[in-house]
Structure 1
Amino acid sequence: MNEKVLNALKELNIDYQEFEEAGLTKTVDNAAKTLNIEKGQVAKSILVKPAKKNFAMIIASGDKKISSKKMRAYFGCKTSFANAEDTYNLTGFTFGGVCPFGIDKSIDVLVDKSMQRFDALYIACGSDSSLAKMTYDEILQKISSTEVDLTED
């Protein structure tokens, strides 16, 4: 696992689990199947680029889609999803491991309210075979207190 992620997890006192087999948590479907949980309990981290602002990361429930209309209203401009190259260059993570731990402080992290309905959530830890178990309140306390409603109803 990435050293900056390990340091961030330790600093935030967040427990995590690493799986020996690569790819077990690469997608929402993989993670849900591996842990035998609902897809909505997998917290996906998505990097977006508002046209007039810096990049932002949205953490949302794995069973929800991000709404372009809601993003436009929230950011006040057209917003697109970051491509794989930008995501890697800005976070150091590839698809399946993108997470809010140890990322550049210039990236605003937004916590979507879609995750409120679950007692336990699982969020990637920088690889496609690691997850941290957290509550919604812990995510707000330890990662970002900025709550948003950016998913489709």
Structure 2
Amino acid sequence: MSIEKVRAHFKPLGIEERIREFDVSSATVELAAVAVGVEGARIAKSLSFKVEDKPIIIVVAGDAKVDNSRYKAQFHTKAKMLTHEEAHELIGHDVGGVCPFALPEDVKVYLDVSMKRFETVFPAAGSSNSAVEMTCDELERYASNFAAWVDVCKGWRPEEQG
């Protein structure tokens, strides 16, 4: 199970005990927010895409949506999400538990600025019923193959609220 891979990834860092497992699903932002007991925006969604036939993960705030024009400006290609099968195969985590930890070396991780307005966020930890609380600095430090901070989302800025 990929939560075990994440636990093994965290062990040398001394943070494996921070993984929280739930009796209920945390596979969606809404379910995770209930399981963790926080507003949905603080759930860090890990979205998997293909860029030049290589998988990438972009971690975004729970209330953010990928903005196609910002995405294209950043990655010079149209946003194309991985299928459930591709995520399992290329990322090593199943949809619902996709996270930026314990990834194959060719999977780059990008963190979206939409998360920076929170003191801590809650990404999944490799299963559809787990999460781990981290600051954005910790997320950057502990993510596998961290590439860059990006600004590819919409819907979360105060001026975008209607």
Give the share of equivalent positions with the same residue, in percent. Answer: 33
Aligned ranges 1:58-73 → 2 under 5 Å = 58-73=58-73
Question: Aligned partners of 2:129, 2:42: CA distance in 1, in Å?
Answer: 16
Question: Aligned partners of 2:149, 2:8: CA distance in 1, in Å?
Answer: 25
Moved over 2 A (4+): 11-14
Question: Aligned partners of 2:119, 2:74: CA distance in 1, in Å?
Answer: 27
Q: TM-score, normalised by structure 1?
A: 0.91
Unaligned 5+ residue runs, structure 2? 156-162
Q: Would you say how many aligned residue pairs link Structure 1 and Structure 2?
A: 150
Unaligned 5+ residue runs, structure 1? none
Tell me if 1:17 matches 2:20. yes
Aligned ranges 1:62-101 → 2 under 5 Å = 62-101=62-101
C-alpha deviation, 1:11, in angstroms: 2.6
Q: TM-score, normalised by structure 2?
A: 0.86
C-alpha deviation, 1:75, in angstroms: 0.9
The CA RMSD measured in Å over matched residues stands at 1.5
Instruction: Report the AA paired with residue 82 of structure 2.
Output: A
| Other-structure match for 2:108 | 108
Instruction: Report the AA paired with residue 35 of structure 2.
Output: T
Aligned ranges 1:1-153 → 2 under 5 Å = 2=2, 3-14=4-15, 15-19=18-22, 21-23=23-25, 25-50=26-51, 52=52, 54-143=54-143, 144=146, 146-153=148-155
C-alpha deviation, 1:13, in angstroms: 3.0
| Other-structure match for 2:160 | none
Q: Deviations over 1:63-119 (max 9, x none)?
A: 110111111111112231111110011122222101111111101100000000111
